[in-house]
């Protein structure tokens, strides 16, 4: 256990992390966790964890899925009682969420907890009336809600609008706003950037720094290493329910973090980039003139056999609707996906029944609403999609449970899903392990086309690598993947092509060495390479139909071209204008920005 004077990585770990020098602990820490144990049945979630932080710092709690980081956050916030150990938060040991709130502790949990049938205002102030908000009139609450949501999200959100119809990112901002309304001295953010796109994440970082500078202790629970390297003042690493090291800001590097998280030496070699497009005549799915937004141009897109295609864009630009249409989850406004069956027959995909028949399988990133069955076991959640198939192939409608058990164990091991018992409820798992269950469910169906909607949301870096290896193997067998993600780095070394959405249509596309976060970001904010139409359709020379024949020149859209900057040039993007210019309202105003805003600007070169 680290002493009060110094905190350093635990002894005996292999890899570069062993050589990290000791990081000095803060004297007079405001948050002190000492030798805390917490078990759930046979699972040791916390196994003697010690942790300290103080007001006026951003402290990251990082680790792999099931390492105990969310459990630690719930202990600090009074949600979970401990089995043994000592807890002191601002001089209190909160025994309930209410006691924690009264002590100045606010938490934004990993799951997006909103009441869809209530308004934005009601969701922001729910649970606050017993604290201080009774002194506010309805008009004051309304004004405060409106101002807070504008400040956080950058767009106007009607306080009287029901939450159910809002986007996932706005719902996330509501949960963050609910915590900030309390004006906390300790703010805990558990994977709070998972539902946010790039510019929203930057806004969150700005707010975190602002709170830190005002003396708030900001504790972030995350698996996103790139983010915590940028934002954290210190990082505590957990592994298998134990604290294995604390790193000072200058020590927070990817190699040190991964070494502590995995207990293994980390190679700095990067993955090879998949740069060769498959042959055009291997098209397995195609859309022409597909529309997911009113007033947008039709989308032309081909997916090839053995291809991994990435889909990206700023939040709410139509990419979510696009992948859901491809998977049959929702209909398009115009057009329908065509799927090649067997040796060449084409068929229209109109819904989930067709998707099941054509072996097109969808995995949602919103596991709470579109993924897990919370009242069922881990085993049932992973294998439930196989029940209809089992019933059709067994006499007397009897399910072969031993066969399903073999499938379950196969994918549990392949995806490294950490569980207690297979019969435990799926809600007993960490969020990342729940997401792995959904991926296992999809892979168990032996799909021909896998449509992934932010599938890596909530899973740690080691699990992501394992997932990407499975996707590469999947594509190597000749199957195809459409991979939507809010993390641009995920596309590198994985996808043969990446298409970028803007205003409900494919704005640009990239292949091979052109797949770089900076270039993708340019396209997301309206700077185009002019090659989007060709590459979206998957052709080296131009769009093609399902048979591989070129689309007539007269029917092709003239590419939107713009000169690329010379290396070292600075692209200045007004994020606030960009938000207001969404949904077909025209390009954002571009102008010189303050030095503060330039911190999140792309420098080419």
Total tally of structural domains belonging to the chain: 4
Could you tell me how many helices (H) and strands (E) the chain has, helices first? 19, 21
User: Which CATH number fits the domain that encloses residue 75?
Assistant: 3.40.50.300
339, part of any domain: yes
Q: What region, left, alpha or beta, does residue 39 occupy, with left being phi > 0 and alpha being psi -120 to 50 degrees?
A: beta
Q: Predicted confidence band at 531 (pLDDT cuts at 50, 70, 90)?
A: low
pLDDT tops 90 at residue 285: yes
367, part of any domain: no
> Same domain, yes or no, for 350 and 285?
yes
> Same domain, yes or no, for 120 and 83?
no
pTM: 0.60
Residues 6+ apart with CB under 8 A from 94: 77, 78, 87, 100, 103, 105
- CA–CA separation, 230 vs 454, rounded Å? 22
Query: In 10 A of CB 253, how many CB atoms?
Result: 16
Structure tokens, 531? 């090659």
> Same domain, yes or no, for 349 and 252?
no
pLDDT tops 60 at residue 601: no
Instruction: List the domain range (segments joined by +) for residue 171.
Output: 114-183
365, part of any domain: no
> Same domain, yes or no, for 224 and 235?
yes
> Same domain, yes or no, for 88 and 193?
yes
Contact 19, 206 (CB under 8 A): no
Which three-class secondary structure state does DSSP give residue 395?
Answer: helix
> Same domain, yes or no, for 558 and 579?
no
User: SS3 sequence, 193-233?
Assistant: CCCCCHHHHHHHHHHHHHHHHCCCEEEEEECCHHHHHHHCC
Query: Residue 570: what pLDDT?
Result: 30
88, part of any domain: yes
For the segment 169-207, what is each residue's pLDDT rounded down to a tens digit?
Answer: 899 999 999 999 988 999 999 888 877 777 788 889 999
Provide, rounded to the nearest whole percent, the portion of the chain with pLDDT above 70: 76
> Same domain, yes or no, for 11 and 90?
yes
State the maximum Cα–Cα separation within the chain, in Å, rounded to a whole number. Answer: 74
The mean per-residue pLDDT over the stretch 88-97 comes to: 89
Q: Which of 426, 471, 418 is nearest to 63 (CA)?
A: 418
Query: In 10 A of CB 102, how many CB atoms?
Result: 15
> Same domain, yes or no, for 84 and 193?
yes
DSSP assignment of 4-69 equals SSEE-PPTT--SGGGGPPPEEPPTT-SEEEEEEEEEETTEEEEEEEEEEE-TT-EEEEEESTTSSH
The mean per-residue pLDDT over the stretch 419-436 comes to: 87
Query: Residue 83: what pLDDT?
Result: 93
Positive or negative CA dihedral for 355, 356, 359, 363?
A: positive
Average the pLDDT over each of 526-530, 555-559, 577-581 and give the range with the smallest value.
555-559
> Same domain, yes or no, for 573 and 551?
no
For the segment 441-453, what is each residue's pLDDT rounded down to a tens digit?
Answer: 999 999 999 999 9
394, part of any domain: no
The mean per-residue pLDDT over the stretch 381-400 comes to: 75
Q: Which of 480, 472, 437 is nearest to 455 (CA)?
A: 437
Please indicate whether residue 387 or residue 160 has the higher confidence score (pLDDT): 160
């Amino acid at each position: 256990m680290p002493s009060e004077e110094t905190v350093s990585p635990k002894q005996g770990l292999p890899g570069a992390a062993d050589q990290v020098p000791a990081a000095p602990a803060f004297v007079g820490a405001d948050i002190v966790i000492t030798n805390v144990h917490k078990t759930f049945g046979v699972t040791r979630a916390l196994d003697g964890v010690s942790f300290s932080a103080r007001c006026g710092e951003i402290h990251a709690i990082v680790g792999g899925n099931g390492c105990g980081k969310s459990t630690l956050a719930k202990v600090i916030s009074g949600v979970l009682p401990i089995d043994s150990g000592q807890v002191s938060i601002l001089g209190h040991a909160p025994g309930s969420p209410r006691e924690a709130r009264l002590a100045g502790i606010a938490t934004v949990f990993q799951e997006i907890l909103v009441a869809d049938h209530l308004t934005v205002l009601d969701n922001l102030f729910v649970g606050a009336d017993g604290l201080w908000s009774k002194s506010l009139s309805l008009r004051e609450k309304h004004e405060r809600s409106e101002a807070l949501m504008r400040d956080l999200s950058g767009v106007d959100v009607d306080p009287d609008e029901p939450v159910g119809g809002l986007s996932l990112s706005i719902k996330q901002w509501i949960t963050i706003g609910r915590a900030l309304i309390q004006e906390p001295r300790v703010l805990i953010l558990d994977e709070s950037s998972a539902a946010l796109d790039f510019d929203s994440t930057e806004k969150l970082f700005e707010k975190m720094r602002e709170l830190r500078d005002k003396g708030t202790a900001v504790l972030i629970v995350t698996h996103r290493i790139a983010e915590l390297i940028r934002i954290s003042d210190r990082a505590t690493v957990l592994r298998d329910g134990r604290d294995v090291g604390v790193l000072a800001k200058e020590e927070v590097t990817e190699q040190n973090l991964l070494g502590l998280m995995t207990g293994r030496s980390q190679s700095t070699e990067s993955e090879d980039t998949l740069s060769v497009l498959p042959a055009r005549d291997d098209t397995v799915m195609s859309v022409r003139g597909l529309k997911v937004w009113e007033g947008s141009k039709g989308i032309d897109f081909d997916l090839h056999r053995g291809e991994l295609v990435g889909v990206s864009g700023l939040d709410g630009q139509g990419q979510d609707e696009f992948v859901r249409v491809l998977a049959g989850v929702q209909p398009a406004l115009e057009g329908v996906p065509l799927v090649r069956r067997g040796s060449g027959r084409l068929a229209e995909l109109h819904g989930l029944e067709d998707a099941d028949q054509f072996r097109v399988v969808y995995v949602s990133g919103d596991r709470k609403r579109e993924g897990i069955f919370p009242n069922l076991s881990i085993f049932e959640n992973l294998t439930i999609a196989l029940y209809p198939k089992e019933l059709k192939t067994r006499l007397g409608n009897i399910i072969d449970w031993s066969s399903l058990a073999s499938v379950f164990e196969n994918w549990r091991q392949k995806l490294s899903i950490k569980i207690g018992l297979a019969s435990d409820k799926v809600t007993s798992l960490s969020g990342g392990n729940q997401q792995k269950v959904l991926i296992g469910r999809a892979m168990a169906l032996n799909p021909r086309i896998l449509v992934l909607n932010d599938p890596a949301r909530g899973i740690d870096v080691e699990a992501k690598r394992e997932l990407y290896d499975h996707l590469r193997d999947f594509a190597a067998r000749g199957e195809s993947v459409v991979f939507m993600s809010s993390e641009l780095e995920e596309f590198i070394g994985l996808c043969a092509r990446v298409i970028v959405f803007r205003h409900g249509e494919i704005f640009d596309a990239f292949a091979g060495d052109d797949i770089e976060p900076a270039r993708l970001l340019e396209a997301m904010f309206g700077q185009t390479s002019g090659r989007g139409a060709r590459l979206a359709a998957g052709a080296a020379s131009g769009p093609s139909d399902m048979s591989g024949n070129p689309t007539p020149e007269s029917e092709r859209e003239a590419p939107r071209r713009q000169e690329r900057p010379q290396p070292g040039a600075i692209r200045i993007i007004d994020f606030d204008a960009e938000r207001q210019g969404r949904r077909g309202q025209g390009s954002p105003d571009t102008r010189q920005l303050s030095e503060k805003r330039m911190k999140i600007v792309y420098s080419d070169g």
